[in-house]
Homo-oligomer: A and B are copies of this chain.
Amino acid sequence: MNRYSLNQATTKYWPLEDVVAASAKAGLEWIGLWREPIQEYGVDQAAKLVADAGLKVSSLCRSGFFTSTDAAERKAKIEDNRRAIDEAATVGTPVLVLVSGGLPAGSRDLDGARAMVRDGLAELAPYAEERGVTLAVEALHPMFCSDRCVVATLGQALEIAAPHPADAVGVCIDTYHLWWDDQVWKGIEQAGREGRIASFQLADWITPLPEGVLLGRGLPGEQ
């Protein structure tokens, strides 16, 4: 089995039909989809498009963003996460990737933001399990900790996942985000032992940091 999957973000500006056709033509068996383009295309239609091309969906990116100091907004985000779980089920993927969200606007309470992530997962995990979708907690590189993702290491992602069954909450291991961590080997072993590796994303770090640090990635081995 060819386990390689093309993440749609790699071809961010291609129309969905083009990336699906190109993936099938290249002999891939898997594709990783993103919510915005499949919502735009229609989630049911996207599911059909992908299935008709003979592809399976490795994961859906992405949901999460639990952190807000406004209770109504946090509730709305939980609802949006439920929709994301439904979308994952509709396209037939077993994995929904979650990025936690950064510090709420104006807040410097990092521990508080991390508590919001734990609370959000506790609300969603039973529903995810019911729908057969594993929530994959992704740690982003610490340079994104303030504005995007307060989960910054694999060890932290595993700790956040720990209260839940591995079928409900796993982790997403992304080489671009985690390569620098001297604890990452230990974390990968632990994640494997616990059956929590729900997704593995492969991309290389570039030095110096590209101007567009958010989307800057290297092809592994090329830089």
23 sampled A-B residue pairs with Cβ under 8 A: A110-B179, A110-B180, A114-B182, A141-B142, A141-B143, A142-B143, A142-B180, A142-B181, A143-B143, A143-B209, A145-B179, A145-B180, A146-B180, A146-B205, A146-B207, A147-B207, A152-B181, A153-B181, A153-B182, A155-B183, A156-B182, A159-B182, A209-B213
Known: A152-B180, A153-B181, A153-B183. 5 other contacts (CB 8 A): A141-B142, A146-B205, A147-B208, A153-B182, A155-B183
**Chain A interface, >50% SS class:** loop
**Distance between Cα atoms of A18 and B54 in the complex (Å):** 71
Q: Mark A112-130, 1 if CB is under 8 A from B, else 0.
A: 0010000000000000000
Kindly report how many copies of this chain are found in the complex they form together.
Answer: 2
**Distance between Cα atoms of A102 and B145 in the complex (Å):** 22
How many residues on the A side are at the interface (Cβ–Cβ under 8 A)?
23
Q: Mark A157-194, 1 if CB is under 8 A from B, else 0.
A: 00100000000000000000001111100000000000
Please report which residues of chain A, range 132-150, place their CB below 8 angstroms from some CB of chain B when the two chains form the complex: 141-143, 145-147
A114 surroundings in chain B (CB, below 8 A): 182
**Distance between Cα atoms of A181 and B146 in the complex (Å):** 11
**Distance between Cα atoms of A159 and B181 in the complex (Å):** 13
A183 surroundings in chain B (CB, below 8 A): 153, 155-156
A141 surroundings in chain B (CB, below 8 A): 142-143
**Distance between Cα atoms of A208 and B143 in the complex (Å):** 9
**Distance between Cα atoms of A31 and B207 in the complex (Å):** 33
Q: Within the complex, what minimum Cβ distance (angstroms) separates A140 from chain B?
A: 10
- The residue of chain B having its C-beta at the shortest distance from the C-beta of A151 within the complex is B182
- The residue of chain B having its C-beta at the shortest distance from the C-beta of A204 within the complex is B108
A159 surroundings in chain B (CB, below 8 A): 182
